[in-house]
């Protein structure tokens, strides 16, 4: 009996040892699985941190570009204002020279009047001289000769004055001709300055009109309104940055019902939840399919799980040939629209689609 009890104890001890080995093996396996999960979580956390850093850097770069562009435009305006001030100064100089020319012409007219007065006085005295000769008698010949001599001297003096005035008159004519030539040159310069001023004004007006040009956009989603509204806001922010770099601003109207105006570029949001064709047809069920309509297919997937083929190559039926553009956008619930090649290419295509359909009206 003692042998049986010993055998039973040995058997139970062996079973306990086997059970302890199994429990130890299970604990080791669970520990290894927990280590693998911890490493995976650390890797995901690192990837999320890198993605946030990329987004912040992308917005910082965009802000730097905007500030640089604004500084450049401010410098252009400053140069244009300086040119405008210079143009006003040149106009003032031309006006002053024109006034000087007018004063010279007045002096010339006064000189002409003086010459005419002197000639008239000379003619009057000559007539008086002839009349005196007829009235004089032979007895007053001596006094006549004296008077005649004085008259001759006076006449010579008047001739000298006339000659001097003629020289001054000729000199004034030379000066007038020179001033007229200079006036023509100044008028030509004035015309050139007017043309330059008009060109500068037109350039400023064109730049201001371009700077403040507004592009109108419509956005619409048929399903999942709350999520699509969040995506619309993110798309609006990203497109605003693109258009600000192009010296334009956008005005986005978001609709819960199909928009009535088909002339304004329309962006229809479609969530790819099941089959691509079914989802797109549901999103476009109440929308006119035209060249002013673009479909944005939203993919809720990580970068490595995104589709390899773009949606526009998969949607090749006649129902899609009239649509202006079909682009793919990747997003995650926690990150929103995250940076990747697909999103960068799609934003560029949306920018071109909006610009072409806005300019074609």
Read off the pTM: 0.44
Q: How far apart are CA 268 and CA 255, in angstroms?
A: 10
pLDDT in tens, 227-267: 888 999 999 999 999 898 888 899 998 888 888 777 889 99
pLDDT at 148 over 70: no
Q: Tell me if 330 sits within 8 A of 338, measured CB to CB.
A: yes
DSSP 307: -
CATH number for the domain whose boundaries are 214-359 = 3.40.50
Strand order in the sheet with 336-337: 248-255, 213-221, 266-271, 293-300, 325-332, 336-337
Q: Tell me if 332 sits within 8 A of 299, measured CB to CB.
A: no
Structure tokens at 216: 């109108």
Determine the distance from the C-alpha atom of residue 176 to the mean position of all C-alpha atoms in its chain, rounded to a whole number.
50
Residue 17 pLDDT grade (very low, low, confident, very high; cuts 50, 70, 90): confident
Q: Checking DSSP bridges between strand 293-300 and strand 248-255, what pairing results, if any?
A: unpaired
Residue 235: closest CA among 218, 248, 247, 257: 218
Structure tokens at 12: 């139970």
Q: Checking DSSP bridges between strand 325-332 and strand 336-337, what pairing results, if any?
A: antiparallel
- What is the arithmetic mean of pLDDT over 15-35? 83
Domain spans in the chain, listed from the N-terminal domain onward: 87-210, 214-359
- What is the arithmetic mean of pLDDT over 105-112? 81
Q: Tell me if 329 sits within 8 A of 298, measured CB to CB.
A: yes
Cα distances (Å, whole numbers) of residue 78 to 75, 248, 309: 5, 21, 50
Q: Scanning the structure block, which residue is given the tokens 């940076």? A: 339
pLDDT at 24 over 70: yes
DSSP 322: T
pLDDT above 90 as % of the chain: 22
What is the per-residue pLDDT for 158? 81
Cα distances (Å, whole numbers) of residue 200 to 83, 88, 193, 306, 353: 8, 13, 10, 52, 33
What number of residues does the chain have? 361
What is the per-residue pLDDT for 213? 77
Q: Residues with Cβ < 8 Å from 255, sequence gap 6 or more? A: 218, 219, 220
pLDDT in tens, 337-349: 999 999 999 999 9
Which neighbouring-strand residues pair with 219? 254, 267
pLDDT in tens, 261-314: 778 899 999 999 889 999 999 999 888 888 999 999 999 999 999 998 999 999
């Amino acid at each position: 009996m003692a042998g049986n009890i010993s055998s039973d104890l040995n058997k139970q001890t062996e079973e306990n040892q086997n059970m302890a080995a199994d429990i130890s093996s299970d604990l080791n396996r669970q520990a290894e699985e927990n280590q693998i999960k911890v490493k995976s979580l650390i890797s995901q956390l690192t990837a999320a941190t890198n993605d946030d850093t990329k987004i912040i850097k992308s917005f910082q770069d965009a802000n730097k570009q905007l500030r640089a562009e604004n500084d450049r435009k401010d410098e252009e305006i400053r140069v244009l204002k300086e040119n405008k001030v210079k143009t006003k100064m040149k106009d003032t100089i031309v006006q002053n020279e024109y006034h000087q020319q007018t004063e010279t012409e007045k002096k010339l007219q006064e000189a002409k009047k003086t010459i005419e007065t002197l000639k008239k006085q000379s003619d009057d005295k000559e007539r008086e001289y002839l009349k005196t000769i007829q009235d004089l008698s032979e007895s007053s010949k001596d006094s006549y000769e004296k008077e005649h001599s004085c008259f001759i001297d006076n006449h010579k003096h008047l001739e000298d004055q006339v000659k001097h005035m003629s020289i001054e008159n000729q000199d004034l004519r030379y000066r007038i001709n020179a001033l007229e030539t200079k006036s023509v040159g100044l008028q030509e310069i004035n015309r050139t300055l007017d043309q330059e001023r008009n060109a500068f004004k037109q350039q400023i007006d064109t730049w201001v009109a371009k700077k403040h040009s507004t592009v109108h956009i419509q956005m619409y989603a048929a399903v999942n309104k709350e999520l699509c509204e969040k995506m619309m806001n993110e798309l609006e922010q990203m497109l605003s940055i693109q258009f600000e770099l192009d010296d334009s601003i956008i005005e986005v109207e978001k609709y819960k019902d199909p928009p009535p105006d088909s002339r304004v570029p329309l962006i229809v949001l479609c969530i790819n939840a099941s089959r691509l064709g079914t989802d797109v047809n549901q999103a476009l069920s109440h929308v006119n399919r035209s060249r002013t309509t673009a479909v944005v297919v939203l993919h809720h997937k990580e970068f490595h799980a995104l589709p390899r083929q773009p949606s526009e190559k998969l949607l090749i039926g006649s129902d899609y040939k009239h649509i202006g553009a079909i682009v793919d956008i990747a997003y995650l619930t926690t990150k929103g629209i995250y940076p990747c090649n697909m999103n960068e290419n799609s934003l560029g295509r949306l920018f071109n689609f909006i610009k072409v359909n806005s300019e074609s009206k």
